[in-house]
Amino acid sequence: MKPGFKSLGEFVDALEKAGELVRIEKEIDPVLEITEITDRVSKMKDGGPALLFEHPKGSKIPVLINAFGSYKRMAIAMGSDTIEVAARRISDLLSASHGLPSTFSGKVKLLGQLVDLSRIPPKRVSSGPCQEIVLKGGDVKLSEIPVLQCWPKDAGRFITLPLVCTKDPDTGIRNMGVYRMQVVDDKTCMMHWQTQKDGAIHSEKMRRRQKKMEVAVVIGADPATVFSGVAPLPYGADELLLAGFLRGAGIELVKCKTVDLEVPAEAEIVLEGYVDPEDMRPEGPFGDHTGVYTPIEPFPAFHVTCVTMRKKPVYLTTIVGKPPMEDLYMGKAIERTFLPLLQKQIPELVDMNFPMEGTFNNAVIASIDKAYPHQAKKVAHAIWGLGQLSFTKVVVVVDKSVNVHDISAVALAVFNNIDPKRDLFFVDGPVDTLNHASPQRDYGSKLGIDATSKLKEEGYTRVWPEEIEMDGATKKKVDALWGDLGLPRG
């Protein structure tokens, strides 16, 4: 496999060549106007094109948005022709090694390809384009970056696709996660890492030691690195290994100028600084993918000590709001990628769908190959115990004959198969911080719906009715006849 994109610029070129990018020359305001344009584009068939706003009002830096906002672009970003192929490559790797591999010697055979694992780890280099410009002290001015105010009632401007890099103080293992950042002033942002996320765990460890934590924030990098920042890898797994695997070559890293962290050498913009875990301030409101404004809640402040960037950087961002939007395609890439890994732990799991209306954490539809009574409950509880899936508010379990991606087929199974008193069950536990419906932050109830066909041992003493299906011979006969019937091809 030839190495994938080294930088965001190479990805932009590829999108442009593929007819997947529109440049907008007219001056457009990052305050609300970019959102309104992008939202309309996201709602077009297949997610519309990526947009490069060349003249955002008030800044010299162009804005790239909706870059991952279609199945095709997501596949290009992951270095494959389709999401399914990319997902298979990653899931083969993850499941072959039960997570990311811990040793990097040798080769593994994935999808018929021999992959050299020694090419995956990041490499240190002495200099890189992300440090062509270095701004410290009074030169640090976040207001020169075209950060969007997405929605009218947002608390201000938010950096929406930052790769937040921190280190576990115990192990030194790096983490890179996408957590939105509200800009407070020229040198301060809020850090919206939700309670259970890896960055927040690092911060909590430092709070207990009464220490500040160094943080580097990468804005804009090669697409494999950006995707890896969103992927729900287990705690302690280095996202840059996944990026290196996806790219087919290790990510080159440079040492930051003012903090003891490393960042991709080919990044566009880097903010260096620290989070003081005791410096908690109100964050939000922010219009999120739940379709509502998340309420004001306390999060720590991030103090910027240095900004480094390319001579001609591009500001990579996204917007979230009522679906479908760009994050839908990232979520679908994750759904496909992690299915085989989940199947290792839940062997009866046939397929799963994170429906876009469930915004990833609020609903999962799972189909299972049911072999014994109450198996749907076992599957729901397994989901409630696994990584970020544990936040799922509603788990719907259907038989394997139901196509989980066909919401109408799922609704037919749910509405008709359930006896509500018997088949609905509730549990309590941690929920997504964005779940505004739970009575308190981060904790609430969850619903399981067992819409599978019922067995005697499940208290169903009648005979479960058979599904209607036309026989094969009749189907074949009608196929042959169809052309003579004067009916359109269905």
Ligand X SMILES: Cc1cc2nc3c(=O)[nH]c(=O)nc-3n(C[C@H](O)[C@H](O)[C@H](O)COP(=O)(O)O)c2cc1C
Neighbour tally for 113: CB within 10 Å: 12
Binding of ligand X at residue 160 (CB under 6 A)? yes
Sign, Cα dihedral of 474, 475, 476, 477: positive
Binding mask 84-113 for ligand X (x = CB under 6 A): ------------------------------
Residue with Cβ nearer Mn ion (147 or 240): 240
- Number of residue whose CB is nearest Mn ion: 198
Residue 235 CB, shortest distance to ligand X, in Å, is 7
Question: At 219, which helix (H) or strand (E)?
Answer: strand 213-219
Residue with Cβ nearer ligand X (203 or 452): 203
Binding of ligand X at residue 213 (CB under 6 A)? no
Residue 431 CB, shortest distance to Mn ion, in Å, is 19
Binding of ligand X at residue 392 (CB under 6 A)? no
Residue with Cβ nearer ligand X (232 or 324): 232
Q: Which stretch binds ligand X (CB under 6 A): 27-35, 56-64, 134-142, 226-234?
A: 226-234
Binding of Mn ion at residue 458 (CB under 5 A)? no
Q: Which of 350, 356, 345 is nearest to 452 (CA)?
A: 350
CA–chain centroid gap for 266, Å, is: 22
Phi, psi of 312 (to 5 degrees): -125, 75
Phi, psi of 41 (to 5 degrees): -70, -40
Q: Which of 52, 100, 148, 161 binds ligand X (CB under 6 A)?
A: 161
Binding of ligand X at residue 178 (CB under 6 A)? yes
Which amino acid is located at 264 in the chain? P
User: CA 348, CA 447: separation in Å to the nearest integer?
Assistant: 20
Neighbour tally for 409: CB within 10 Å: 14
Binding of ligand X at residue 191 (CB under 6 A)? no
Neighbour tally for 241: CB within 10 Å: 23
User: CA 167, CA 173: separation in Å to the nearest integer?
Assistant: 6
Assign 265 to helix, strand or coil.
coil
> Of 222, 238, 288, 327, which is the active-site residue?
288
User: CA 254, CA 257: separation in Å to the nearest integer?
Assistant: 9
180 binds, among ligand X, Mn ion, none (CB under 5 to 8 A by kind): ligand X
Q: Which stretch binds ligand X (CB under 6 A): 36-44, 81-89, 108-116, 173-181?
A: 173-181
Residue 37 CB, shortest distance to ligand X, in Å, is 18
Binding of ligand X at residue 223 (CB under 6 A)? no
Q: Are strands 188-190 and 297-309 parallel, antiparallel or unpaired?
A: antiparallel
User: CA 146, CA 56: separation in Å to the nearest integer?
Assistant: 7
Binding of Mn ion at residue 238 (CB under 5 A)? no
Beta bridge partners of 174: 167
Q: Which of 327, 335, 348, 423 binds ligand X (CB under 6 A)?
A: 327
Residue with Cβ nearer Mn ion (160 or 175): 175
Residues that bind ligand X (CB under 6 A): 160-161, 175, 177-180, 192-194, 197-199, 230-232, 318, 320, 327, 330, 388
- Which positions are catalytic? 288
